[in-house]
Structures are given as structure tokens and as C-alpha cells.
């Protein structure tokens, strides 16, 4: 489980642990991974992992097998978001998102597939984003990196089926905006207003849907489904999408401001049932 030191990753790891799985919690922040594993409790352990390092991903897979006895599920969740007009960002910014969001997903998938192919079974879940199904202003390279990750995942699944591997599954989860520190930090960022334009999910809501992919793998799952249909429709009509941008951004900025007011008033996030 990559990128599991907090936020959505921690919620996914927690729910996997509740299913009785031994969970190897990894994060580029090793201390966060150890704290998350302690929070999950029995059957969980943590370690540092930089998903940009392919050999480190292989070693994480091997360490999981050595401790748990097998590698049944691998979740790629590590990701970064740097917003702003793409023409103002240096190449290093674009490369950083590609290396973590795309290459990191490649490395994790390949590292998990080596033992899964030997066994002939396994389940890989790649947490993408609705940005992998469409794009918008302010998140250009983030979206590009997610497009690369989803194309790699779907193509890899096709390669596995063509090679006769019927019991190895790769699922792509594409959630809408999720209330995590990544999004909370963007309440004043006009370049990430689109994250507030749809259905804001709590981490546990998205994690519930994602963990179900263990039992019901699917190549692409949009969360919620209606947002996936909307994004795909817009993506199929690029001229219409370009004409919609001013109105869409105006509405997104209004929604973002509303979330900020509710957050500052203590009315967001929800306090539970």
C-alpha cells in the first residue's frame, strides 16, 4: 500500500486491515508510515518507500511476502498535486508530477506483478482521479500524469489477458475531490477550484468504494459514477469543453469559496452521523 501515511491512503489501509489482511503501510515519509501502521493495529507494519525507485518497489513487494506469506493486494495511492498555469511552471514541476503519479504507479504495478505472475493471481488497485478521465485549467500536468497512469493500467491488464493471466486484476479508481490535506490546502487556490466543483468525498467514503474492488475488480471505476459519465461526456466534446471553461470556473470558484466559509465556521467537514 503506497502513499498510506495519511489521508485517503490511510483510510484504504485501515479498511484492508479490517478485512483481516496483513497490511504493509508505505509512504515516502517513513515516520508517517510507522504511525499509520500503529494506528491500524495488529497485522500492520510500516516502512519508507519512494515510488520513484523501481528497485525499492520490488523490495517492498518482497518484504510483504516475507512477512505476510503472500502478496494478494497491492494499492498504488502515492501522488502529488502542484497547481498553476502550465505555461508558468518549470519543467521540473511537470516532471515531478509525472515521476510520482505516473512512473510511481508504473513502478508499483511492475513490482507487484513479478510475484503475482509467479503465483498466477493477485489484485492491483491504482488510485487515479477523475482528472485521469478529463482535464481542466490549473491541473494540466497532474491530469497528464493521471492519464498516463490509467493508460498504463488498462494496457497492462490487456497484456496480462493476452498472455493468459486471467486471475490477475488491475483496477483503476477515479474518485472526485476528496477532503484530505491535499485539498484542504487548496481552499485559497483559484487554480484548483475544479476540485470543489463536484461531489466532495470524505476519505472513508472513497475508501469504501475502492476497497470493494478487491472483491469486484473493474478496469475503471469513477466515484461517484455520475461524475465519471459527466467528465467523459465533456472529454468527448473538446470544443464544447473549451467554451464551457469560463462558466465552469466561475461556478467552481463560487463552490470553493462556500467550502472555505463552511470550514472556517466549523460546519465542514461533517462531524459524523
- Beta bridge partners of residue 73, listed in sequence order: 123
Q: Are 54 and 107 a contacting pair, CB within 8 Å?
A: yes
- Distance (Å) of CA 194 to CA 22, 74, 130, 189, 264: 36, 29, 11, 10, 20
How far is the first Cα of the chain from the last one, in angstroms, to the nearest whole number? 29
| Sign of the C-alpha dihedral computed for residues 61, 67, 69 and 74 taken in this order | negative
Does the active-site annotation cover 142? Answer: yes
Q: Are 234 and 134 a contacting pair, CB within 8 Å?
A: yes
Give me the catalytic one of 45, 74, 106, 142: 142
* Catalytic residue annotation: 142
Amino acid at each position: 500500500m503506497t502513499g498510506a501515511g495519511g489521508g485517503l491512503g490511510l483510510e484504504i489501509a485501515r479498511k484492508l486491515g479490517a478485512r483481516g489482511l496483513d497490511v504493509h503501510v508505505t509512504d515516502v515519509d517513513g515516520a508517517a508510515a510507522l504511525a499509520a501502521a500503529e494506528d491500524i493495529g495488529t497485522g500492520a507494519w510500516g516502512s519508507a518507500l519512494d515510488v520513484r525507485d523501481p528497485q525499492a518497489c520490488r523490495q517492498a513487494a518482497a518484504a510483504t511476502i516475507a512477512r505476510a506469506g503472500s502478496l494478494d493486494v497491492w494499492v498504488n495511492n502515492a501522488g502529488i498535486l502542484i497547481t498553476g498555469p502550465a505555461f508558468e511552471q518549470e519543467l521540473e514541476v511537470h516532471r515531478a508530477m509525472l515521476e510520482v503519479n505516473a512512473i510511481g504507479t508504473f513502478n508499483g504495478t511492475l513490482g507487484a506483478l513479478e510475484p503475482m505472475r509467479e503465483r498466477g493471481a493477485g489484485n492491483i488497485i491504482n488510485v487515479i482521479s477523475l482528472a485521469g478521465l478529463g482535464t481542466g485549467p490549473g491541473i494540466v500536468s497532474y491530469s497528464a500524469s493521471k492519464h498516463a497512469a490509467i493508460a498504463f493500467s488498462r494496457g497492462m491488464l490487456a497484456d496480462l489477458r493476452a498472455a493468459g493471466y486471467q486471475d490477475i486484476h488491475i483496477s483503476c479508481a477515479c474518485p472526485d475531490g476528496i477532503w484530505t490535506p491535499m485539498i484542504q490546502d487548496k481552499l485559497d487556490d483559484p487554480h484548483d477550484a475544479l476540485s470543489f466543483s463536484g461531489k466532495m468525498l470524505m476519505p472513508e467514503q472513497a475508501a469504501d468504494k475502492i476497497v470493494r474492488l478487491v472483491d469486484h475488480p473493474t478496469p475503471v471505476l469513477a466515484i461517484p459514477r455520475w461524475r465519471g459519465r459527466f467528465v467523459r461526456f465533456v472529454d468527448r466534446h473538446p470544443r464544447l469543453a473549451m467554451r464551457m471553461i469560463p462558466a465552469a470556473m466561475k461556478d467552481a470558484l463560487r463552490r470553493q469559496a462556500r467550502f472555505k466559509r463552511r470550514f472556517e465556521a466549523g460546519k465542514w467537514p461533517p462531524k459524523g452521523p
